[in-house]
Each structure stands twice: as C-alpha cells, then as structure tokens.
Amino acid sequence: MPTVAVPPQVPRVLRLTRTILLVVALALVLSACVTPALNAADYRDKALGSAEAATSEVGTAKLVCGLLLRERVLQSTADETLGASEDALGSISDSLLAVQPPRGADPIYLRLATQLDRAESAVRDARIAARRSDTDALVDLVGRMDTILADLAATEELLA
C-alpha cells in the first residue's frame, strides 16, 4: 500500500487551528455562563419573570398532586407533568443564575435563588412521592408548595 507523505507544516497548522477553535469555544462558553444585567430595572424584570414562571410551575405541580390524591389523574400523566415542571424549574433557575446581578441587587438574587431552590426541591420530591404512590408525602408536599407559592407571591409583589 503506498503511503502519502504529509508535509511537516500540516500537523503544525492543524494543531494551531485546533487550538484557536478551542480558545474561541471556551470563550463562548464562559461568556454564556454569566452575563451582567444592564441595570437594576432589567434585573428586576428578569427576576420578576423568573418568579412568575416558578409560581406557574409550582402551581401546576400542586394541582397535579391534588388530582393524584383524589385519583383524578393517571399516574403516568402525573409523572410526566411533574417531571416537566421539575425540568422547567431547573431551566428557570439556571436562567436567573446566569445573570450577574447589578450592584445592590444581591438581596433580590439571594431571596429568589433560595425560593427557586426550594420550589425545585418540592417538585422533585412530589415526582418521587407520586412514583411511589406515597400519599402521606404528597399531602405534606401540597402544604409545602402552598408555603412556596405564598413566598413567591410576596417576591412578585416586591418586584412589581
């Protein structure tokens, strides 16, 4: 089988090209991780949107848990809906945490980040309880979600 001679400069060019592409890709990834909010008003709007979206997902999860407790929804439908709400809360949280809060917005950031974490945890626990048909846990989680919804409503009022 004949061999093809590779000029010595080709591997160096390939290495240089690969290095440049790697540096550009890394820069893009890092710039996407944390973006600064343009100003306090923009950050408040972003935080308010996150709180409203989280309220919707927790409300949906609470409704599904109630329907499941009254045997008004199929197990598979409840599982799918709770999983979707859990995923959505993760995206909401990731989206908010990707924005660098402007100076003075740390209290809003900390408050909402904590609430989003509690919401995601409650919905995750509800999904697990639903899969296990653990009605006692579902009853407790409905109460937990009521508290989370009240806290999110207070945050929405503060940001509006």
97-145: per-residue pLDDT in tens?
898 899 999 999 999 999 999 999 999 999 999 999 999 999 999 999 9
The Cα 85–Cα 12 span in angstroms is 50
Dmax of the chain from CA atoms? Answer: 76
Q: What is the pLDDT of residues 36-95, one digit of tens each?
A: 667 888 999 999 999 999 999 999 999 999 999 999 999 999 999 999 999 999 999 999
Give which of 39, 126, 19 is closest to 79, Cα–Cα.
126
Confidence of residue 24 (pLDDT cuts 50, 70, 90): very low
Q: Do 58 and 155 meet the contact criterion of CB atoms below 8 Å apart?
A: no
- Tell me, what's the pLDDT at 145? 98
Work out the number of other CB atoms within 10 angstroms of the CB of residue 142. 18
Q: What is residue 33's predicted lDDT score, i.e. its pLDDT? A: 44
